[in-house]
Amino acid sequence: MSVLKSSKSTLRPGDRSGLALITTIIVLAVVGTVVAAMVTAVMASVRTSALEYHEGRAFYAAEAGGEVALAQIKLALQDGLLEDAELAAVQAPTMEGFNYDSFSVMKKGTPIVETITDGPYSGLYALTQDVEIVSLAEDPNGSIGGVILDAKAQAIPIFQFGVFFDDDLEATNGPPLEFVGRVHSNSNIYLSSGGGDDDSEPNAWYREMITTPNKVFNDRKDNHDIQTGVFINDAEGNEVRLEFDSRSIPDFEAFKTRSCDDFDCRLQTDAFEVDSLRLPLPEGVPPYEVIRPRDLDDGAAEKSVKFAWNADTYVTVDLVNLKSKGMVCDDGEDDPDDNFGGNKWWPDITIERDGSTVPNKPALCDIMRWEWAAFYDGREEEMKDVLTIDIQQLDDWIDGEESRATAVIYVEFVVPGGVSTYPQDVKDETLDATVDPALRLKSGSTLPNPMTVATDWPLYVEGDYNDSPKQPAALASDGLTILSEGWKDNENRPKNSDVNDCDGMVLAGSPCSGYEDWVPTWNMETASETTVNGAVLAGHWPTPCDHGVPPCAGGYADFYGGGIENFPRFLERWKSGSTRIIFHYLGALVSPFTSQKTTGTWNGTYYYPPQRDWGFDTDFRNPELLPPGTPNVGNVIRTAMREAF
């Protein structure tokens, strides 16, 4: 019988190798999982970073597209108008690696007149058009970024500024000058004025904000002469002396701090990032064009802003084709103001009024009169050949009839190259053997209606203008000169007996000898108190060089341009004994260009300055009371930006 024995299996250490292998496999599996997870996470992070990178680039490309659109809108607004066609023409930028298939610029709502609340032009009003810009940019990887920009396109009537210059603005008045109104120049501003023995007594007061995208200098431009009599009001109306400028405090932040401490930030320069205000003409068209005659090559933008195209009364004075006075106007009477008597030669004068009533010949004789060598201009040093418009006679002719009303009058002079083609009796009348046309307004104390008068030649205003009652009015020209209420032509020209011996002697380039003998004996006559109300848009004559900047840093023997105190210009002795005679002016002084025809330089010997009672016409802050044909300047501001999803 077999005996079966149970056996018990015993594990030896060497037999645990299988467990270790299993454990290793498990660990490796776990590690592999972790590594895989980490790799996945890293790859995801890389992909996320790459996506964020591409999306970030797309966003900034979209934002750049919006800024490009803003820049194009600013260009479109240069004429003060923002047309639908101009918005439709706004294009997305060309940027390598991105497309702008979703890009649009559109108006939001209708234009409204509103007060500007932000920036250096706050407080002025503008015709504001809200604009929305949508800019989406996509890169080759399909990443898309987008922004929506909100902007305001502002057309600001230029006559809201008390003073507006495109070139350097100089104000270095002798007699005291107080000015109420905003002061702006697109170039530098020079303020230096003082009274008393040390030039420190108050002598110039600026009651409102002064702005420029360039520099302010408490110094003269023509020579180094810092006078400390200039005061600028702070926000509470306190008069604060100007004791610093862009030279003494060149650091922008320090300048801003000082301006805000002294004037409540009411003196702003490039330190405040002030923008230039572009004049109302397209890019490349000089601002002088705003007063130029109609041109058949003018585009829509020029036609929208030039006084000539906005005129309802267009007067052409043809000095090439002369006619006898009787052929131009015939009232059947001798002209008592005719300096030479008889039926002298006149330029051919035509009037266009777009289908409205035109003055007949007798009325033309009453309203307009032509005079060769009417008077001597001591600054220009020449005899002026003048078309005089008698505003009182114009008012009588209009007589309240709507079909005769004249809102904008433009006068074009067609001028020959010289007097060589003129009949001898006309040459004799020119005295200085040159043709020097000018427009003069007289008897204009009462205007028939709101009225603007414009020409690209010299304009003279004789006597009180637009003061009884005051109406919206403007005067636009190459240069404006004020002749006082006491002005008399015959006191500012040779007597007939002085020049009668010159008959038959005046030739091209050969003046009347009697006239040449008279010029050194000419003396300025005494003016009388005069009032002129109306915006002025005219040329000025600037000081040609800054003494503090090379090549003029060492000084120069040149001349002072005359400054704002001689804009407009004067010719008479505005002083009687020790008493200064007052010139009262209310309006807006705008000079967008240098004079091209009134080029005589200031020297202070041909006149004695008046006591200037000057101010900004606050009526111009009401859009309904602006002069006819007021130009606009354009400004565009970004008001909001948000991301587009």
Q: For the residues 372-377, what does the mean pLDDT come to?
A: 96
Closest CA to 108 of 147, 151, 146, 79: 151
Q: Which of 380-389, 571-580, 632-641 has the lowest mean pLDDT?
A: 632-641
> What count of Cα atoms within 13 Å lies in the side-chain half-sphere of residue 521?
10
Closest CA to 364 of 309, 402, 323: 323
The pair of structure tokens assigned to 348 is 């051919």
State how far the Cα of 54 lies from the Cα of 148, in Å rounded to an integer. Answer: 19
At residue 48, the 3 state secondary structure works out as helix
**pLDDT tens digit string along 146-168?**
899 898 888 889 999 999 999 99
Higher per-residue confidence, 54 vs 257: 257
Query: Left, alpha or beta for 320 (phi > 0: left; psi -120 to 50: alpha)?
Result: alpha
pLDDT at 8 over 50: no
Are 540 and 594 in contact by the 8 Å Cβ rule? The answer is yes
- Residue 162: phi and psi, rounded to 5, are -65, -40
pLDDT at 341 over 60: no
pLDDT at 51 over 60: no
State how far the Cα of 399 lies from the Cα of 119, in Å rounded to an integer. Answer: 46
What pLDDT was estimated at residue 25? 58
Count of H helices and E strands in the chain?
A: 11, 33
Q: For the residues 23-46, what does the mean pLDDT come to?
A: 53
Closest CA to 591 of 271, 341, 290: 290
State how far the Cα of 217 lies from the Cα of 192, in Å rounded to an integer. Answer: 8
Q: Could you say which DSSP state residue 486 is in?
A: T
What pLDDT was estimated at residue 280? 65
What pLDDT was estimated at residue 340? 44
Strand 125-138 versus strand 530-533 pairing type: unpaired
- Mean pLDDT across the chain: 87
What pLDDT was estimated at residue 6? 44
What pLDDT was estimated at residue 300? 83
pLDDT at 590 over 50: yes
Helices (H), ranges, 438-480:
none
Closest CA to 352 of 391, 398, 308: 308
State how far the Cα of 360 lies from the Cα of 383, in Å rounded to an integer. Answer: 30
Q: Give DSSP secondary structure letters for 174-208.
A: SS-EEE-S-EEESS-EEE-B-BTTTT-B--EEE-S
Element (H, E) at 328: helix 325-328
What pLDDT was estimated at residue 10? 44
State how far the Cα of 259 lies from the Cα of 236, in Å rounded to an integer. Answer: 15
What pLDDT was estimated at residue 364? 94
Higher per-residue confidence, 561 vs 46: 561
Q: Give DSSP secondary structure letters for 202-225.
A: --EEE-S-EE-SS-EESS-SSS--
**pLDDT tens digit string along 437-463?**
999 999 999 999 999 999 999 999 999
The pair of structure tokens assigned to 623 is 């859009």
**pLDDT tens digit string along 63-75?**
888 888 888 887 7
**pLDDT tens digit string along 211-243?**
999 999 999 888 888 889 999 999 999 999 999
pTM: 0.82
Looking up tokens 């003048």 gives: 386
User: At residue 416, what is the residue type?
Assistant: P
Say whether the peptide bond before residue 359 is cis (omega within 30 degrees of 0).
no
Q: For the residues 296-309, what does the mean pLDDT come to?
A: 90
Residues 6+ apart with CB under 8 A from 331: 361, 362, 365, 366
